[in-house]
Amino acid sequence: MSKVLVMDADLANKIAAGEVVEKVVSVVKELVENSIDAGAKEIKIELIDSGVKEITVTDDGVGMDEEDAVLCFSRHATSKLRNLDDLFNIESLGFRGEALPSIASVSNTTLQTNNGTCSTEVIVNGGKVDSIKSIDCPKGTKIKVRNLFYNTPVRLKYLKNLYIELANVVEYVDKMALSYPNIRFNLLNNGKSILFTDGSGNLLKVISRIYGIDVAKKMIPINGSNGDYTIKGLISYPEKARSGRNCMTTFVNNRLIKNNELNKIITDAYHTYIPSSRFPIVIINIEVDPILIDINIHPTKMDIKFSKMDTLKELLMKLITEQLESRNLIPTLRSQEEKQKMDMANAVEGVKEIVISNEKSEESNDYQSLEEMQLDLDVKEEEVPLYDPNSKVEEPKEEKKDRIKKMYPVGLVHGTYIVAENEDGMYLIDQHAAAERINYEKYMKKMGTHDNHMQDLLIPLKIELSNNDYLILKEKMDKLKDLNFEVEEFGINTILIRSHPYWLPEYALEEAIRKIIDIVISEKEFDPYKFTEKIAITLACKMSIKANDHLEMPAMEDLLDRLRDTDNPFTCPHGRPTIITYSKYELEKMFMRSMEK
């Protein structure tokens, strides 16, 4: 008797469901993508108990006739691929024909659809078609999925608690609303509205619904292309950076993707604008010929492979850095009332990030009620600037120095913060952060010139090292010579510095040289730019004025003028702000000199 058997369709669908349908959000994703592919302009997602009991997705798309309504529950039945060539030119979100049969095999599913000429209802329980009949229903499609994983108890056991399942769904629907601002999305759980967008096509209005109006007002448009890629979208001011990567939303041809390489390019573009532990809010869509990408590398279709990744990286870096370098990025302090509104919006986003980041370690099956845990942010309808993704981003006309108007120091607070003013308002400047930025850019430029200017020491500097450090340094001695050090071995575990690059500070020469030697020893993989930058950051931090270093007024004036001359006067090399401001209007409002009607 043959040992190799062809598995029946029901078993194959349940196995496929293990890849395609992992949790509630997997079902929502597949159904919403089908609605979008059907040309829907309005999509309503209704959940009961976060979707564990019931998920209903209703759209106003093209609908199906009776034959297609039945056939769509057959494995590998799809309207989106006809031949092999179509696989290399995929423009739809779905294409494998596995989603509906996989979902139906592990749930009780009801499909109601109307294509404008006939209406059909198909009921499928555990993968078996139980009923097909004609009904009356509006044009479009409505799919109801009940009792998810009722016949696969092992998978049901590993569903997370209700709040985590809901957080996953909210995150996904948020991102689809950002990708398709022209579609009206309505997400409800137990009858309570969580997200509603108006489908007007205004991306900034969608951002205000998800992140709050204050974030929407602090978004910067980017728009550019090269021969292979076109990039359109919005990036946030550095001050709006978040603690989790979930705020970085990238699409390729409007398909939501998660690509670590793309995320790294974006965070690298924000380097020194934000701390390394923070991430910008970005909504970016990459348009590309489907022949240059491969989306068929994972069942979820969330990952992607790019051809010509180098040209994509170059374009994305250029667009982001150009915009950041052309803006006044000084954070504005808010009144207490406005701050409370912002804190509420950030709290909602923060809860999502915490829940999702802890998801993998959460093994609870506690299906407690969500009524007391749901957060409903009522975003007040305000005038939000219209975002046109096809508009050309204006090139900056101001000189770099004019990004910050001249500031006049008036005093020092706690020996650390310079208080300054001009006609626009009041400024607080962290003197250490400002000096760090000035020195960092100075060291980066000096080390980047590759000149051979060296300073001879009248008395050579002797530096002793441990056995291990000395052996490592001997292997990397050429790195010191590349930096214009004249070095020679001198006795046991000792080196002699006879000359050093001219840009090192004379007042702390030995400390600076020891810091550079520590970096040379600690670097495992040598990247010339990162090596140079690490030295520049370390020297800038150690050689700059510190908190509680008292400055006289002329020194404050000089520091502020030199800060204005830097390429990025808004943050130190670690991404911390150098300046914050209270506008004149904010000051007057706090002292009730400006009364709002």
Helix (H) or strand (E) holding 318: helix 309-324
Give, for all 597 residues of the chain, the pLDDT tens digit.
Answer: 545 544 455 544 444 444 457 789 989 998 999 899 889 999 999 999 999 999 999 999 999 988 888 888 876 545 543 444 444 444 556 444 477 888 888 899 999 999 989 999 999 998 889 999 999 999 999 999 999 888 777 667 667 688 889 999 999 999 999 999 999 999 999 999 999 999 999 999 999 999 989 899 999 999 999 989 999 999 999 999 998 888 999 998 888 888 888 999 999 999 999 998 899 999 999 998 888 887 655 555 566 788 888 999 999 999 999 999 988 898 876 555 555 555 555 544 544 444 444 444 444 444 344 333 333 333 444 455 555 555 555 555 444 546 788 999 999 999 899 999 999 899 999 999 999 999 999 888 887 665 667 888 888 889 888 888 888 888 888 888 887 888 888 888 898 988 988 777 777 788 888 888 888 888 776 667 777 788 888 888 877 888 788 889 999 999 999 999 999 999 999 999 999 998 888 888 888 876 654
HSE-CB of 178 using CA atoms within 13 angstroms:
30
Cβ burial of 88 (10 Å; 0-12, 13-18, 19+) is exposed
Residue 27 near residue 103, CB atoms below 8 Å: yes
Cβ burial of 328 (10 Å; 0-12, 13-18, 19+) is middle
Residue 417 near residue 428, CB atoms below 8 Å: yes
Residue 126 near residue 151, CB atoms below 8 Å: yes
Predicted local confidence at residue 227, as pLDDT: 85
The residues, ordered by sequence, that sit 6+ positions from 433 with a Cβ below 8 Å of its Cβ are 571, 572, 576, 577, 578
Residue 487 near residue 495, CB atoms below 8 Å: yes
Paired tokens of 43: 């999509």
Among left, alpha and beta (phi > 0; psi -120 to 50; other), residue 126 is left
Residue 241 near residue 280, CB atoms below 8 Å: yes
Q: Which residue has the tokens 């500031």?
A: 407
Identity of the residue numbered 567: D
CA nearest neighbour of 178 among 205, 211, 145, 203: 203
Predicted local confidence at residue 537, as pLDDT: 86
Q: What gap in Å lies between CA 13 and CA 494, rounded to an integer?
A: 70
Predicted local confidence at residue 392, as pLDDT: 58
HSE-CB of 457 using CA atoms within 13 angstroms:
18
Give the predicted TM-score (pTM) of the model: 0.74
Domain annotation for the chain: domains and CATH numbers: 9-159 (3.30.565.10), 203-361 (3.30.230.10), 408-597 (3.30.1540.20)
DSSP readout, 483-496? TT-EEEE-STTEEE
Predicted local confidence at residue 367, as pLDDT: 38
Q: Which residue has the tokens 């810091």?
A: 515
Q: Which residue has the tokens 């809010």?
A: 281
| Phi, psi dihedral angles at 486 (to 5 degrees) | -100, 110
Q: Quick check: helix, strand or coil at residue 134?
A: strand
Q: What gap in Å lies between CA 59 and CA 461, rounded to an integer?
A: 76
CA nearest neighbour of 251 among 269, 232, 278, 265: 232
| DSSP bridge partners of 430 | 417
